Amino acid sequence: MEDIVKGIGLLLEFQNILLILSGVLIGVLVGALPGLSSPMAIALLIPFTISLDPVAAIAMMAALYCAGTFGGSITAILINAPGAPPAVATALDGYPMAKNGEPGRALGLAAVSSVFGGIFSLIIFIFAAPLLAKLALEFGPAEYFGLAVFALSMLASMSGKSSLRNLISGLVGVLIGTIGIHLTTGVERFTFDIPDLEEGIHFVPVLIGLFAVSELFKQSEKLNAVVERIQAKALRLPSLIELKKLKYTILRSSGIGTFIGILPAEGSTVAAIIGYNEARRWSKDKDKFGKGSPEGIVGPEAANNAAAGGAMVPTLALGIPGSGSTALILAALIMHGFRPGPYLISETPEFVYAIFGAMLIANLGFLFIGLVGAKFFSLVAFIPKKLLWPAVFIFSMIGSYSFASSMFDVWVMLAAGLVGYFMDRHGFSAAPLVMGLILGKLVEESFSQSMIIHDNNFFALLESPVVLLFFVLTFLSLSSPFWTRYFSKK
């Protein structure tokens, strides 16, 4: 309890509250702008938050993450163009409801269910994270290696066209992590006699390139796309009677979202799709789905926001990111000198509770912003792309450069952008690469340490039941496309 009070105390400084609210505002804005996303905004923000107090920096990013998930639903509902992938399922019923003349009601349902989903997952977070961390304190290098391998295998089921390509992207990320001087031996690896590579490739320019610059190239293909817009005058909160009717859908989706968020590598998009499908499966009015069903809005919205909170559990308790955005928050934590994992919770619990508080404020903040600014945010989506994307590129350049005052990083950003564009064209997702890059050090360190402990006998690792469990889970995760097809045929 004392830690919770301390954590809230850390947040209650004027500067921190201001930064959290700025994070919410930026989150809703980038969520509402098609093409911009919260991972991209977090990637752009990281270099500028280095000089901030760690609590303020991480709280701002966590707030942006929560709000960005909701922001995506604004454009999904008003212009049928999800501002962020997790809002794809919201568009299925949100847009028809808006077209039927009830855009304010659709936005209100999305906002309230998002807030509920978000707060639900935070309550689970506050109990689950310390428990998970306590368990993880017993982990040795072998167990961590097993966990990291399991997390990498979960990349296969991340959203994207192909599990195989997700896995390749993830492993390429781990491989990029090996560039630079090997910590144990001091040997240079893949540096090609370039001094800038001796310290390895920094996360920041790669993240900015993959998320922002590659998206700029994609957007340059559809600069003149015309979208039909529905004007929302204000957000209309649902009545108590309506909420009563929807309570089971919201609760179910919040549970689903939190659970999926906790699974390593599973993000809000998967949660939203499952939340939508389950809302439809349990609904008494299945025929209304696709035509503006309220359940079709609250189902995915509660799930995707709950997943955002859920994804913070493995990120903070184990140091294993739960989604693309949390992978970036993890990178930011590392840059601020923290070692994400069980020690973060056992040694600095007040810091973790401060992040929890920031996410709570963010959840309430975007409801308020939605209430007063729905009209404004519905207009934001119409900022001309021809002016918006040059601005994104300028922020990307400054962000990459300012991190280490190095032009080399700007080139890395551009190269990552080009590679990211062609990866996407050929079905390789960027998010697994980022997660691989961030997990890379953990995988190699834990692998090396376990091999040393077990006298280079790989099979000796399996003597630990926890490692065995993770390897079984890895096998199940990798073989899931086969057995799910087998069971669905039956």
**Contact predicate 155/443, CB 8 Å:** no
Task: In angstroms, give the least distance from the CB of 483 to other proteins.
Answer: 13
Q: Which of residues 32-51 bind other proteins (CB under 8 A)?
A: 48
CA atoms within 13 A of residue 86's CA, in its CB half-sphere: 40
172 binds other proteins (CB under 8 A): yes
Inter-axis angle of helices 141-154 and 465-489, nearest 10: 20
Residues 6+ positions from 2 with CB-CB distance below 8 Å: none
Nearer to other proteins, 105 or 385 (CB): 385
**Residue among 346, 348, 448, 480 that touches other proteins (CB under 8 A):** 448
Of 126, 404, 451, 466, the one binding other proteins (CB under 8 A) is 451
Query: According to CB under 8 A, which one of 134, 189, 233, 375 is a site residue for other proteins?
Result: 189
- Cα 306 to Cα 339: distance, rounded to the nearest angstrom: 25
Question: How far are the Cα atoms of 192, 202, 268, 419 from residue 175, in angstroms, in the given order?
Answer: 15, 13, 27, 15
Residue count, binding to other proteins (CB under 8 A): 61
Out of 126, 251, 383, 398, point to the residue binding other proteins (CB under 8 A): 398
The helix (H) or strand (E) run that includes residue 126 is: helix 103-136
Instruction: Tell me if 452 contacts other proteins by CB under 8 A.
Output: yes
For residues 74 and 88, which CB has a smaller minimum distance to other proteins in the complex?
88
- Given the rule CB under 8 A, which of 88-96, 102-110, 249-257, 418-426 is the region that contacts other proteins? 418-426
- Cα–Cα distance, 329 to 403 (Å, whole number): 16
Nearer to other proteins, 121 or 219 (CB): 219
Binding segment toward other proteins, per CB under 8 A, in 36-44, 373-381, 443-451, 462-470? 443-451
Q: Under 8 Å CB-to-CB from 480, ≥6 apart: which residues?
A: 156, 157
| Beta bridge mates, 188 | 181
74/349 Cα distance (integer angstroms): 35
| Positions that interact with other proteins (CB under 8 A) | 48, 161-162, 164-165, 167-168, 171-172, 174-175, 178, 182, 184-185, 187-190, 192, 213, 216-218, 220-221, 223-224, 384-387, 389-391, 393-395, 397-398, 401-402, 405, 407, 410-411, 414, 418, 421, 424-427, 444, 447-448, 451-452, 456, 481, 485
